[in-house]
């Protein structure tokens, strides 16, 4: 195996770790399996990442951070609420559909190792200007108030609104094993379910807010 002049090996290890951690969770993952998946030996994992915990941190940072720029793009924009809802639903379903196990991994990691989120949040706060981070919730609130004032929308707290929006997008993926059993959905049926959802969810949400 040749040298890692351009960080190619480190990247391959991280990718392998992503696969294994997402599949088995941080506690269930084995360094040995990651090494095999990356085509290197276990010692090299420690050479690059020092410990399993640091590697797990790097993976969470990588996986969870991946979602952030698009979210910021949607909610940091000047679009109308209607547009934001539709953009978010489409973006989320289109992206996550290609890695449908990510949400389950993230939720599990949030639950068992919530301290990793703190670390990630600090980093994101450093990357994006504070103005964007601080402002986007009140801004959304103001946008809602506007619509309420002209009678185009019923009032809703912006945090409730956001939780609703994200919940409706994320949940089908984390509940997939249940859908498989309760609705008898095989892969194709699940895919059709997502198509239908992508099409109808924006209207469902916007209609919920009509006066």
Note the residues at the interface with a copy of itself (CB under 8 A): 23-28, 101, 104-105, 107-108, 110-112, 114, 117-118, 121, 137, 154, 156-157, 159-160, 163-164, 166-168, 170-172, 174-175, 177-179, 181-183, 193, 196-197, 200, 204-205, 207-210
Q: Please, which of residues 122-151 interact with DNA by CB under 7 A?
A: none
In the list DNA, a copy of itself, none, the entry touching 178 (Cβ below 5 to 8 angstroms by class) is a copy of itself
In the list DNA, a copy of itself, none, the entry touching 51 (Cβ below 5 to 8 angstroms by class) is DNA
- The tokens describing 116, both together, are 């990793």
Binding DNA (rule: CB under 7 A), the pick from 15, 23, 46, 180 is 46
CB of 20 to DNA, least distance (A): 10
Q: Please, which of residues 14-33 interact with DNA by CB under 7 A?
A: 29-32
Nearer to a copy of itself among residue 44 and residue 174 (C-beta): 174
- Contact segment (CB under 7 A) with DNA among 46-54, 143-151, 183-191, 202-210 equals 46-54
* Dist CA 143 CA 130 (whole Å): 20
Binding DNA (rule: CB under 7 A), the pick from 40, 108, 168, 201 is 40
DSSP 3-state of 208:
helix
DSSP 3-state of 95:
helix
Closest by CA to 31, choosing from 3, 8, 7, 59, is 59
Show the binding pattern over residues 51-80: x = contacts DNA (CB under 7 A), - = does not: xxx---------------------------
Kindly tell me the sign of the dihedral angle through the C-alpha atoms of 135, 137, 140, 142: negative
* One-character DSSP codes across 125-181: HHHS-HHHHHHHHHHHHHHHHHHHHTTSS----HHHHHHHHHHHHHHHHHTHHHHHH
In the list DNA, a copy of itself, none, the entry touching 95 (Cβ below 5 to 8 angstroms by class) is none
- The tokens describing 25, both together, are 């969770």
* Dist CA 191 CA 126 (whole Å): 38
C-alpha Rg value of the chain to the nearest Å: 20
* Residue ranges binding DNA (CB under 7 A): 1-4, 9, 29-32, 40-44, 46-47, 50-53
């Amino acid at each position: 195996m040749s040298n890692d002049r351009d960080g190619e090996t480190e990247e391959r290890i991280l990718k392998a770790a992503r696969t294994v951690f997402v599949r088995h969770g941080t506690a269930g993952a084995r360094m040995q399996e990651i090494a095999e998946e990356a085509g290197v030996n276990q010692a090299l994992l420690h050479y690059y990442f020092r410990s399993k915990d640091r590697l797990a941190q790097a993976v969470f940072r990588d996986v969870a951070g991946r979602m952030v720029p698009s979210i910021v793009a949607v909610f940091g924009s000047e679009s109308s609420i209607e547009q934001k809802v539709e953009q978010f639903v489409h973006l989320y379903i289109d992206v996550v559909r290609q890695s449908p196990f990510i949400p389950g991994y993230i939720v599990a990691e949030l639950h068992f190792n919530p301290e990793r989120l703190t670390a990630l949040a600090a980093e994101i706060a450093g990357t994006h200007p504070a103005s964007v981070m601080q402002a986007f919730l009140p801004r959304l609130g103001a946008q809602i108030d506007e619509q309420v004032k002209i009678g185009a929308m019923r009032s809703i707290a912006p945090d409730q609104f956001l939780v609703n929006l994200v919940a409706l997008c994320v949940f089908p993926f984390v509940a997939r094993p249940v859908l498989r059993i309760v609705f008898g959905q095989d892969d194709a049926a699940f895919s059709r379910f997502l198509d239908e959802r992508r099409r109808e969810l924006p209207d469902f949400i916007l209609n919920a807010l009509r006066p």
